[in-house]
Chain A
Amino acid sequence: MKPPPFRYHRPSTVTEALAVLAEAGHDGKVLAGGQSLVPLLNMRLAAPGQLVDVNRLAELAYVRTDAEAVRVGALARHAEVEHDADTWEAVPLLRQALADLAHPTIRNRGTVVGSLVHADPSGEMPAVLALLGGVMELASDQGRRTVPAAEFFVGPLESALRPGELATAAVFPRPPARSGSAWREVARRRGDYALCGVGVLVTLDEDGRVRAARAACISVGPTPVLVDLAGAVGGRPHDAADWAAAGAVVAAAVDPEDDIHATAAYRRHLAGVLTARAGRAAAEQARQEGADG
């Protein structure tokens, strides 16, 4: 299981990278963390003619927090984002979800942006971006553009990234005040791809009632499934909301498939169960947020 040969580029600046990517076109693939790409190369399931190694682009190695969002540069490793204290304060859902992403050793090298571009239907990061209404920042030698999550994940392992483009950052907006989040996942083994995973974001009003609630689910469709839970739990006090009903809404909304690890029916069932569990936990976190002020 050795990779096939490829032409190797290692640009030192983003400008250089974009020039190389433009030149390579369809034949080019970006190598950042490589934790998804290199297994494919080793198994010879992919054979890009040119690899553009972006690991020298120090200008993209950042995770920054500001008043609006957490901004994750293309070279920020999962582990860095997971352990960043400011990120935890601003968008706790990132650490909550990252804890279930593979194993720490993989997280030391894999990148959040790389995960997003990879667009695995079982990937935690796409669901987090979708749930928070985040955006991807893309660049090419023709210019830059921003693509919201809702348009970025096109299909299984397919994103809106075009040949010649480099994803330079992902932007995760801060949730509103009095918000709480939670991530619940069931996998066969700890660290495996989820059989089903659900992230829930709950926002309470000043009286502690649910002002907004939504869920994002993975492994139950070709892309993350976003479900508005307001109908089931909106207006209810945070500790008297019918999270089981919210779960039922999600279970009805997803369209999973059978595979060797789980049936579609079981995944659908999990979507409901995990929504209820995550919802309860998110609501509780929101209450604490509100209490802490």
Chain B
Amino acid sequence: MRIGYYPGCSLEGSSKEYNDSLFAVAERCGITLETIKDWNCCGASAAHNLNHDLALSLPARSLALAASQGFAEMVVPCAACYSRLAGTQNEISNNVAVKTKIEGFIDLKLSAEVKILTVFEFLQKYIFPVADQYIIKKLDQKAACYYGCLYTRPKEIAAVEQIENPMEMDDAMAKAGATPIDWAFKTECCGAGLSVSRTDIVAKLSGRIIEDAVDRGAESIVVACPMCHMNLDMRRPEIKRQLKKELDIPVLFITQALGLSMGIPAFNLGLDKHYVSTDEVINCLAEKEA
């Protein structure tokens, strides 16, 4: 069965390592992901801030293309892209008038329903059933899994089962041999799009997240969203400046963590692309117990 893949702008740019590590893990497990041809930007925050029709049309076009290219499923690793695509699909499928209008704008038919898979669902459905044979190392670490905001709202399309205390990444990290910790900032705001316009606010909010993780003994923070990663990793210098603390806890994408436990070389997982060094994580790799 062919599995479609929608990277979104971030995975081809600022979060290329998320893309690379996902493909590395998939390839290791014998799964092929096919990128949707001619996919377009999902609109992110910009579109829905400006115009509701535009906000629906952009994701709708990618969905229509995926359907016409014969994909029954499509993996969308970026949380924002997921939110826009799933949200659009939800709105259109519940309202025939809206569906007809959007079909008019994009000049394509939205007939077949493409099932949108979050990275969690992809891992759950395709990777974990076969992962045991591929996970050869143990990521001997305490990991704080950070889910951010978009995976937990709105209720109709939430990507996690327990929106106040999600466990999907925690379970995945346990499979990788790590010890996920219980902490209070799993779904607290990191500052999101204020990353550029009000970096000071991001520094404060993301700083709190990192502080709580570190206070509770976490040795790495694990994310599944390019925005989360950017604020927790790339904005670290500002965070350190504001908090006046040397906080060097590394931030990994869930696919990178899994990839390490599968013995995939760090370079192939893009671990060199981070602002905060991930050497400590790599050093924590131990032999998996029999």
Tell me if chain B binds chain A. Answer: no
